[in-house]
Amino acid sequence: MIEQLKKLFPSLQYYETIPNKLDNRFVWYVTNNSHVISIDPKELDSKNEQLLNLFLIPFEHLFPPKSKEEIKWEMYLQETEINTDIISKYRLVYFSIESNHIKPVDFKEAVNQIFEKETIILWENEREGILVDIMKDHEEESISYKEIIDILITDLYGNIKFFIGPYRENLIGIKQHYEFLKKGATIALPIAEENVVTYLDGIPIILMNHADYQYKNEIQKMILQEFLNDREFLNMIKVLFDSNLNISVAAKRLYMHRNSLQYRIEKFHEKTKLDIREFHHALIVYLAILAKNE
């Protein structure tokens, strides 16, 4: 179809994903497979426009206008504007809309109502995108996507899934993190039974399906965080794993008091929100350490 259209409209440009900047000099359409095309309006007349509208969707009818914040974050994620200063805590949340009838405009309106604020949504196509979840200074708790997912599904009459990334405090390596999150979501969401999957839940799935150097490197940083290069702590955790998470046995093997080991575990829990005394969290930390050692 695209090749046939190019014969009729020589200026036509074809994009598999939504360009960061839409040139207002052109008319934009969305195809039935969520790809985007642009055409010089000089090549269009009213008859051609009516014909195109039969099998293409005018872009402005499908997607909400981009806010200044959305344009700014698109530049951040592509690292076309570098800002490494510490900003408010934020996390990237990938979402997938599995129902054809849910329009991006309706989705954003519903999300804005639930969050009670103007949200930042960056669309990959009409069914996928990234929500930039910024924690304000006065907010003590983050929004629970597991609590709002049922409301969204009920309001929009369709299936929606979220893949939630970790909170970050700067933009260093944001493009790599963004790409990792998207890839991880496309692996984890089809396999996971839940509609809301955190990066902690998704990591074992990702590792089982695909693990190259880039994935292993990002997993280390996300999980171990400030303990990434703390050799003493990592060795202590290895001994604890080798001791079947028995703190008393591990403390003896490390020649340290049980309370001291307990304190280090609590400190790790406080910083990373991971409690290695719980099996699932211990498994994630164990995989992160394995990735670091390879």
Section 1-26 average pLDDT: 81
* Alpha-helical segments (H) within 198-257: 199-209, 213-224, 231-242, 247-254
- Amino acid, single-letter form, for residue 245: L
Residue 130: predicted pLDDT: 95
Q: What pLDDT is stored for residue 61 in this prediction? A: 62
Position 143 pLDDT exceeds 80: no
- Across the chain, mean pLDDT equals 85
The predicted model scores a pTM of 0.64
Q: What is the mean pLDDT of residues 272-282?
A: 90
How much is the pLDDT for 157? 80
pLDDT (average), residues 168-172: 87
Is 90 exceeded by the pLDDT of residue 269? yes
pLDDT for the residue 30:
83
Q: Are 89 and 135 in contact (CB under 8 A)?
A: yes
Buried b (16+ CB within 10 A) or exposed e, 199-225: bbbbbebbbeeeeeeebbebbbbbbbe
Task: Return the DSSP state at 13.
Answer: E
Span 99-133, pLDDT tens digits: 767 888 888 988 888 888 889 999 988 889 999 99
